[in-house]
Structure 1
Amino acid sequence: MINFNIAAWRAWAPGLDSVADWQAWSQQPGVFAASGAAPDVSFLPAMQRRRLSRLARMAFSVGWPLAEGHQALPLVFASRHGETPRTFDILSDLAAEQPLSPTQFSLSVHNAVIGLWSILRGETSEMTALAAAGDGLEHGLIEACALLNEGAPAVLLVITEEQPPEAYACWIDDVPFPYAVGLLLTPGSQWQVTLTNGPADAEKAPWPHALNLLRQLLDGQVSFQHAWKTRVWNWQSNL
């Protein structure tokens, strides 16, 4: 069992930025049409913004406001698919026998986002990048709670997924639209999460775990479950 408080949260998806936007979506959730919209990261200098992919921009847009006022804030970044569009572009150049960009490669690796975060914020606290399965939210929570138990006064958890290129549509079906969710976690017992075993054919949740969590938070649910394969995560609020 892990215990924690959610001190604050932020989320972004195309057309969904404010709490009111997410409240409306949670009541009538749906899939958005393909969009090239990207979040506002004007708090960064233009020269620095240019290097950021949409995945990185999403992570920064939800994480930066939550980190304000916190010194030495550890970060846990979780994404199942990571910089898939960048990787696809590199593979396309390779197939076309075109020269590869060292910059593109360096920014395509899974821990590139936390590297950029460290540089742009001057942050030297512990940071972790996780490539987890469909329950990456809970695996990120385990990592974050371990840091809280070691004495961190707060930990920032960011979960984000980018829309994969069309070529991957047959294999990646768990990203309904690009999204990012940021959680500022602190020590406490407002929330408890436990793990139990379930059937291998457990019903798949209609939305990714991080988006389901937002729905539960906005609806004021005190108890719910997230299932992935044989793992069933039981959430309980003590608010």
Structure 2
Amino acid sequence: MSVKVYIEAIGAIGPGANNWPEWRSILRKEVAYQPARTVNPVLNVLPSAERRRVGIGVKIALASGLEALAAAGIDPSSMTTVFCSSGGDGENCHLICEALASSDRMISPTRFHNSVHNAPSGYWGIASGAMLPSTSLCAYDAGFAVGLLEAAVQCSVEKRPVLLVVYDTPYPEPIHGVRPVADQFAISILLTPDVTQGSITAIDVSLEKTPSTTMESSELENVRVGIPAARGLPLMQVLAQLPEQAAAADIYLEYVNQQSLRVKFVAA
């Protein structure tokens, strides 16, 4: 069984590129990829008190999501959302562990508040005024594919647009030694149930036992395998070539239980 939806807009931020137009130029080989640390985005959509409290995970998640909706000209308050991350805010987790290992074991209320897995969803609601449902998921390295399938099913069944936001941030040492995440990365994709004037392509998604699609560039492959959210790079690669690329081969994104999410591209 497959699920068909339409892709209308993309937002992305990660090592070497700060937004989707920059990633698109790299993936189209119009400019050479230059590895560099992810630049922390400025987030002005939250009240000043909230801006002081949020961590980098919230910043990159909201920045990429808002970029996708701005490209589509859609009011963020009107969106159903799906957020997915393998571990949330890695630095916040590290600081809580440090506090628990100290003599007084006192945890800052702000740290605890930001430790919950749906923190970006909550800050999204504050920033946008969105009142529609929001889902927060975690699936280790398979988060991008799990999030995409969840968002596609919601979009198809509920017959309304859904914004998928997948993000990851690294842990400091010593957690980094056992769960290495190379850098920050976030990708957001706006899905619609029906074709619109802004539709980039239609996709059919289904589960198969097929090896994951890799990146031709060794540097981009290092990004893909080094950051769970960057498992979406093969999808970004195809979307960067559209609409000039008349036909795109199916891609396979790492899922759970030795399965892959097959993404078949259909002309919009």
Class of the TM-score when normalised by the shorter of the 2 chains: 0.7 to 0.9
Contact 1:5–1:186, Cα closer than 8 Å, also in 2: yes
Residue correspondence of structure 1 range 11-26 to structure 2 within 5 A: 11-26=12-27
CA contact (8 A) 2:207 2:259 kept: yes
> Any residues of structure 2 matched to 1:158-177 within 5 Å, and which?
158-173=165-180, 175-177=181-183
RMSD (Å), alpha carbons: 2.4
Aligned-partner Cα distance in 1 for 2:82–2:212: 28
CA contact (8 A) 2:170 2:184 kept: yes
Cα–Cα, structure 1 residues 85 and 204, in superposed 2: closer, same or farther, change >3 Å? Answer: farther
Q: Is the 8 A contact 1:8 1:183 kept in 2?
A: yes
Deviation at 1:95, TM superposition (A): 0.8
Q: 2:8 touches 2:192 (CA, 8 Å); kept in 1?
A: yes
Answer whether contact 2:168 2:184 (CA < 8 A) is retained: yes
Superposed counterparts of 1:55-134, under 5 Å: 55-67=57-69, 68-69=74-75, 71-98=77-104, 99-134=106-141
Please say if residues 192 and 236 of structure 1, whose CA atoms lie closer than 8 Å, have aligned partners that are also in contact: yes
* CA distance in 2: counterparts of 1:10 and 1:31, whole angstroms: 19
Aligned twin of 2:266: 238
Cα distance in 2 for partners of 1:47, 1:102 equals: 14
Aligned: 1:154 with 2:182: no
**TM-aligned CA deviation for residue 56 of structure 1:** 0.2
Give how far 1:13 is off: 1.9
The residue that corresponds to 2:252 in the other structure is 225
After TM superposition, the score normalised by the length of structure 2 is: 0.77
How far is 1:233 from its partner?
Answer: 2.1
Cα contact 1:14–1:38 (8 A) shared by 2: no
Give 1:203 deviation, angstroms.
6.7
Partner of 2:146, secondary structure, is helix
Query: Residues 190 and 106 of structure 1: is their aligned pair in 2 closer, same or farther, counting only changes over 3 Å?
Result: same
C-alpha distance in structure 2 between counterparts of 1:128 and 1:56, whole Å: 15
> Does 2:166 align with 1:138?
no
Structure 2 stretches lacking a partner, 5+ long: 195-200, 215-220, 225-229, 243-247
Q: Shift of the alpha carbon at 1:155? A: 0.5
Between the two proteins, the alignment pairs up a number of residues equal to 233
Alignment-derived partner of residue 4 in structure 2? 3
Query: How far does residue 181 in structure 1 lie from its aligned partner after superposition?
Result: 0.5
Question: What residue identity is the alignment partner of 2:147?
Answer: G
SS at match of 1:80: coil
> 1:216 is matched with which residue: 238, 254, 257?
238
Over the matched positions of the two proteins, sequence identity in percent amounts to 25
Q: 1:165 to 1:217 in 2, by over 3 A?
A: same
Q: 1:193 aligns with which of 202, 205, 220?
A: 205
Query: Unaligned stretches of 5+ in structure 1?
Result: none
**How far does the alpha carbon of each residue in 1:44-76 deviate from its partner, in whole angstroms, 9 at most, with x for none?**
332331121111011111112434425531110
Counterpart residue number, 1:52: 54
- Tell me the distance in 2 between the aligned counterparts of 1:150 and 1:226: 22
Task: Give the number of the structure whose residues are more often strand, by fraction.
Answer: 1
CA distance in 1, matches of 2:107, 2:45: 31
Decide which structure has greater helix share: 2
